[in-house]
Amino acid sequence: MKELLECLERDHTQTPEQLAIMLNKPVEEIAALIKKYQDEKVIVKYQTIIDWEKAGIDNVTAVIEVRITPQREVGFDAIAERIYRYSEVRSLYLMSGGYDLSVTVEGASLKEVADFVSTKLSTIDGVVSTTTHFMLKKYKFAGVIIKDEEEEHRLVVSP
Partner 1 sequence: MNWADRIAPTVKAIPPSGIRRFFDIAAEMKGVISLGVGEPDFITPWHIRESCIHGLHRGYTSYTSNYGLLELREEITKSLHKDYQVTYDPRQEVLVTVGVSEGLDLAMRALLGPGDEVLVPEPCYVSYKSCVTLAGGTPITIPTSAENEFRITAEQLEKYVTPRTKILLIGYPNNPTGAIMSREDLEGIAAFALKHDLIVISDEIYAKLTYDGTHTCFSSLPGMRDRTIVLNGFSKAYAMTGWRIGYAVSNVEFIAAMTKIHQYTMLCTPITAQIAAIEALKSGEKNVEHMVSEYNYRRRLIFNGFRQMGLDCFEPKGAFYIFPSIKQTGLTSLEFAEQLLMAEKVALVPGDAFGESGEGFVRCSYATSTKNITEALERIGRFIKNIKK
Minimum distance, C-beta of residue 150 to partner 1, in the bound complex (Å): 6
Instruction: Name which of 97 and 159 has its Cβ closer to partner 1.
Output: 159
Under rule CB under 8 A, residue 156 binds partner 1: yes
Minimum distance, C-beta of residue 144 to partner 1, in the bound complex (Å): 15
Please give the Cα distance from 33 to 126 (Å, whole number).
42
In total, the chain counts a number of residues equal to 159
Please give the Cα distance from 143 to 158 (Å, whole number).
31
Minimum distance, C-beta of residue 143 to partner 1, in the bound complex (Å): 13
Minimum distance, C-beta of residue 157 to partner 1, in the bound complex (Å): 4
Q: Which of 5, 7, 43, 63 binds partner 1 (CB under 8 A)?
A: 7
Please give the Cα distance from 1 to 6 (Å, whole number).
9
Minimum distance, C-beta of residue 126 to partner 1, in the bound complex (Å): 42
| Half-sphere exposure (Cβ direction) of 46: Cα atoms closer than 13 Å | 11
Q: Which of 56, 97, 143, 159 binds partner 1 (CB under 8 A)?
A: 159
Letter string b/e over residues 69-102, b meaning 16 or more CB atoms within 10 A of that residue's CB: eeeeeeeeeebbeebeeeebbeebeeeeeebbbb
Largest CA distance in the chain: 68
Stretch that binds partner 1, among 62-70, 102-110, 115-123, 148-156 (CB under 8 A): 148-156
Looking at residues 9 to 48 of the shown chain, list those that interact with partner 1 (rule: CB under 8 A): 14, 18, 21-24
Instruction: Name which of 40 and 150 has its Cβ closer to partner 1.
Output: 150
Contacts of 77 (CB under 8 A, 6+ apart): none
Residues that bind partner 1 (CB under 8 A): 3, 7, 14, 18, 21-24, 150, 152, 154-159
